[in-house]
Structure 1
Amino acid sequence: MRIRFHFRWIPLVVMLLLVALGISLAQWQQRRANEKVARAARLEAGNLAAPLVLTAAPLLAADAQAIEFRRVTVTGHFVPAWTVYLDNRPYKGQAGFHVLTPFQIDGSRMHVLVAQGWLPRNNVERTRIPAYSTPSGSVTIAGIARLNAGHVMELGTALPLAPQAIVQNADIAQLAHASGLALQPLIFEQTVDVGQAAAPATSALPVRDWPAPDLGADKHRGYAFQWYALALMAFLFFVFTGFRRANKQP
């Protein structure tokens, strides 16, 4: 008995499109997994390396990427007049804000944007910011270098940045443009203060339990496997139905 194959152009085109789509998306997920693996390696290396001292020398974007996740120290003073609050930053199930404040590096006009920590939202009056302590005068602070403060979904048009504004998202370039301050191209997630006087009893320090970067490489590998499986199923379905139609014909 001769086995025949029933060839049709439309199923072939559909199969090729599905195979191309599946392989393309699988490779994209694989690249995402590789990025997460590289990020985990950089994070581990940054934790093991000695802290860097951030100076007023302007950093290029490539320099900032090279020191992301490194422990960093910097000396200078806060510029609280241009503090902004990032909304929709929950912590342990409670709504709140991340406090972003420019920090002027000693002996220069260069600044770095410091994420001081997390503050809870007032459930009665949403725009009321709890009292907290920002040190005055020259201090040395330590933290982790990050390229951005994270991004949350934002509906509608973003409000322009202004001093003490509550916004959904803010990046370094936006804040530099709005404030006129020279800013290094990185965010400083503050962890501890060095040489700071005790905070007043009536104010609270922001919570500095920063979320770890998303390192779920296995999740992307799983997605890649699913897309490769889709491409294989499309090919096998085309071959199976071609043989089945051909051999069912009299």
Structure 2
Amino acid sequence: MIKHLNKLSVTIPIPFTKRCLRFNVLLVLIFIVMEYGLFRLGFWQLDRAEQKRQLQQNYQQLQKNQPVNLSKTNLNVDDYQPVTFQGEPISELQVYLANEPYKGRDGYHILSAVKLPGGKIVWVNRGWVAALADRRQLPEISELPERWAGNGYAYFSKGDPILFDHALLEVEENQWLIQGLDYDLLSSVLKTRKSSALPFIIRLSKESDHGFIREWTLISMPPDKHLAYAVQWFGLAATLFIILLLLTVKRKDTEYGL
């Protein structure tokens, strides 16, 4: 009897875990839309980083060139091209470009119009001055001589700024306050001479006279920061993919692997 029992064997089925995918159509569609948006943001930041890098290279290259003399007939210049000028300041006009911070303080950039020998008019950014405690008053600015010579570099518009109502306001006679650097709006203070304005301004160099604080910012955000933002967007896309896998991979207990 015992001999026959030893020959008997019992098979006990052991359940095991099998992983399977269960997709929720709505969840997958939301995932695709969000992934598309995150990847677009990431590649946009990479594109901006390349644009800023190219801008820095162009600026460095242009600074090696000889300055263009705007007092002569050659008025065709590139963005950030070094220039020199000599002309008659339109002393009765003074424009304050508002909302220009410097080292944590609010202030203005001072823009003065200069009539060149050929009759064209160029705006010169003389630099930064601090705002007064009473914002209803503008800081006093030293007058320019009858003839003014200086140098700097040409600065073209980098896109249309967001302007609100009353973006250009005449605070006192021939003293204007402008809320954004819109060239068309800026040159409107020239009235009948508006068509004579050149399509750029001059950022006055530190070596030139009759200027204020001139710490010009070439670009508001360096390429490395754009790259960091791109990594963040791609990282979010990867995290979202992992979350989708965790939500769609389900465990199912089966017997014999069936």
The structure-2 alpha-carbon separation of the partners of 1:40 and 1:125, relative to structure 1 and needing over 3 Å to count, comes to closer
State whether residues 18 and 252 of structure 2, in contact with CA within 8 Å, keep that contact through their aligned partners in structure 1.
Answer: no
What is the aligned-residue RMSD (CA, Å)? 2.8
The equivalent residue for 1:200 is none
Q: Which amino acid aligns with 1:119?
A: V
The equivalent residue for 1:45 is 61
The structure-2 alpha-carbon separation of the partners of 1:23 and 1:249, relative to structure 1 and needing over 3 Å to count, comes to farther
The equivalent residue for 2:197 is 183
Q: 1:236 aligned to 237, 242, 248, which one?
A: 242
After TM superposition, the runs of 4+ consecutive aligned structure 1 residues lying more than 4 A away are: 55-59, 149-154
The structure-2 alpha-carbon separation of the partners of 1:11 and 1:111, relative to structure 1 and needing over 3 Å to count, comes to same
CA distance in 1, matches of 2:37, 2:111: 41
The equivalent residue for 1:199 is none
Tell me which moved more, 44-53 or 157-166.
157-166
CA distance in 1, matches of 2:184, 2:141: 28
The equivalent residue for 1:130 is 140
TM-score, scaled relative to structure 1:
0.79
CA distance in 2, matches of 1:168, 1:189: 18
CA distance in 2, matches of 1:126, 1:205: 23
How far the C-alpha of 1:124 sits from its partner, in A, is 4.5
Q: Which amino acid aligns with 1:190?
A: L
The equivalent residue for 2:100 is 89
State whether residues 22 and 231 of structure 1, in contact with CA within 8 Å, keep that contact through their aligned partners in structure 2.
Answer: yes
SS at match of 2:237: helix
Q: Which amino acid aligns with 1:184?
A: L
CA distance in 2, matches of 1:76, 1:41: 31
The equivalent residue for 1:117 is 127
Structure (1 or 2) with the greater strand fraction = 2
CA distance in 2, matches of 1:165, 1:242: 62
Q: 1:164 aligned to 171, 175, 181, which one?
A: 175
Q: Which amino acid aligns with 1:171?
A: D
CA distance in 2, matches of 1:189, 1:11: 53
The structure-2 alpha-carbon separation of the partners of 1:151 and 1:173, relative to structure 1 and needing over 3 Å to count, comes to closer
How far the C-alpha of 1:125 sits from its partner, in A, is 6.3
CA distance in 2, matches of 1:125, 1:158: 16
SS at match of 1:48: coil
Instruction: Give the length in aligned residue pairs.
Output: 231
SS at match of 2:249: helix
State whether residues 160 and 182 of structure 2, in contact with CA within 8 Å, keep that contact through their aligned partners in structure 1.
Answer: no
How far the C-alpha of 1:192 sits from its partner, in A, is 5.5
State whether residues 152 and 168 of structure 1, in contact with CA within 8 Å, keep that contact through their aligned partners in structure 2.
Answer: no
How far the C-alpha of 1:158 sits from its partner, in A, is 2.7
CA distance in 1, matches of 2:142, 2:205: 16
CA distance in 1, matches of 2:63, 2:75: 24
SS at match of 1:236: helix
State whether residues 204 and 211 of structure 2, in contact with CA within 8 Å, keep that contact through their aligned partners in structure 1.
Answer: no
Matched, 1:209 2:215: yes
SS at match of 1:73: strand
Structure number with bigger Rg: 2
SS at match of 1:84: strand
CA distance in 2, matches of 1:236, 1:208: 50
Tell me which moved more, 93-102 or 125-134.
125-134
CA distance in 2, matches of 1:125, 1:2: 71
State whether residues 161 and 178 of structure 1, in contact with CA within 8 Å, keep that contact through their aligned partners in structure 2.
Answer: no
The equivalent residue for 1:141 is 150
